[in-house]
Amino acid sequence: MWGRDSFNKRNGHGIQEWPDGCKYEGDFVNNLKHGIGMYSWPDGSKYTGKFYLNRKEGYGVQTICPSPGVYAGNWTFTFLVRVTSAQSRTHH
């Protein structure tokens, strides 16, 4: 799990869950999502990749449920700015 510094803040690898069913598992620095981690929503959607100061930043993969698909690429300020892969999960 994680360690705590003298100010009682999360540091290291850990899990945080919210009452609405969202969950983060990954690295923390001073209570912030920072490093590699996975954030998931109750509908099954998830983001796996890099976090910087509590936001998606750098390479990551977001799966949107129940559709339209999977998006991989570089994120800046939580927005996907360069797509390296996109797949529709809709079946015809």
16-41 pLDDT per residue, tens = 999 999 999 999 999 999 999 999 99
Structural domain containing residue 56: 10-88
Residue 3 within any structural domain of the chain: no
36-69 pLDDT per residue, tens = 999 999 999 999 999 999 999 999 999 998 877 8
Tally the domains of the chain: 1
CATH code of the domain containing 50 = 2.20.110
Per-residue DSSP letters for the chain?
--EE-TT--EEEEEEEE-TTS-EEEEEEETTEEEEEEEEE-TTS-EEEEEEETTEEEEEEEEE-SSSSEEEEEEEETTEEEEEEEEEE----
pLDDT of residue 78: 86
Least-confidence region, from 3-7, 56-60, 68-72: 3-7
Residue 1 within any structural domain of the chain: no
Task: Inform me whether the pLDDT recorded for 6 exceeds 70.
Answer: no
Closest CA to 45 of 30, 23, 26, 73: 23
Residue 2 within any structural domain of the chain: no
